[in-house]
Amino acid sequence: MGVAHNPQEAVIETRQLYKRFGQVTALENINIRIQRGEFVAIMGASGSGKTTLMNILTCLDTLTEGQVLLDGVDAAALDEEGRRRFRADKIGLVFQQFHLIPFLTALENVMLVQVGLEHRTDHLPSQLSEENEQRVLALLQDLHHQGRTIVMVTHNPELGRFADRIIRLQHGKYLSEEVQQHAVA
Ligand SMILES: Nc1ncnc2c1ncn2[C@@H]1O[C@H](COP(=O)(O)OP(=O)(O)OP(=O)(O)O)[C@@H](O)[C@H]1O
Ligand SMILES: [Mg+2]
């Protein structure tokens, strides 16, 4: 079942977002808007701040300065229990190989924790990884077509090509973005 949405509406928005770990500034003045139903890839070199950003966008961590609006809710207004509930209701997380860390927000529950690894113990790790990557990607595309919002962190340009837009980070800062045109099937 699809999720109705207003294409102009930002479901995720960061405003002058900073995250510091002691002396280390992991994120510096990040201002991004992700529209409802969009498929966005976040890319950047190791240490550029991708995981830090994802942790904040998924309410797994809090910010140091600035604002994050998630589905119209100021994340700062949520206490730990509120964040837990928000995650449970609106966010699905898929972790794979520490390279592909997408999440989805939806008006209804999306919980995607398993992708069928338990039946694959007879496969070689490299095979498993490649096959599993394709499965996760197919699943994400399905959910995207249903109107879900997808944010995917990846180092892999081949995977990044499936996104509507690529946002690049560098040394904790927004570097650039690129809208990708996809052929209509
Ligand atoms: N818990 C932490 N304590 C201290 N510094 C941290 C912590 N988490 C991240 N950092 C620092 O913040 C910066 C961004 O790290 P982050 O893990 O977000 O990068 P990344 O883009 O996800 O890298 P990778 O591609 O290697 O996963 C790095 O300088 C990192 O050392
Ligand atoms: Mg990371």
pLDDT in the model for residue 147: 83
> What percent of the chain is predicted at pLDDT more than 70?
72
pLDDT tops 60 at residue 120:
no
Task: Work out the pLDDT band at 96, boundaries 50, 70, 90.
Answer: low
What's the gap in Å between 63 CA and the centre of ligand 1?
14
Of the two residues 118 and 177, the one the predictor is more confident about is: 177
* Total-model pTM: 0.83
98: left (phi over 0), alpha (psi -120 to 50) or beta: left
- The predicted structure's pLDDT at residue 129: 60
- Give ion ligand 2 contacts, CB < 5 A: 50-51
For ligand 1, atom 26: residue with the closest CA: 46
Q: What distance in angstroms lies between residue 107's CA and the mean position of ligand 1's atoms?
A: 30
pLDDT band at 101 (very low <50, low <70, confident <90, very high): very low
Tell me the best of 17, 19, 28, 48 to mutate to test the pocket of ligand 1, counting ligand atoms within 8 Å of each CB and taking the most: 48
User: pLDDT: is 64 or 125 the higher one?
Assistant: 64
Q: What CA–CA distance (Å, rounded) separates 159 from 155?
A: 8
User: How is the chain split into domains, by residue range?
Assistant: 10-177
Question: Using 50, 70 and 90 to split pLDDT, how confident is the model at 6?
Answer: low
The residue among 164 and 102 whose pLDDT is bigger is 164
What's domain 10-177's architecture?
A: 3-Layer(aba) Sandwich (3.40)
Residue with tokens 């002058």: 16
Buried b (16+ CB within 10 A) or exposed e, 36-49: bbbbbbbbbeeebb
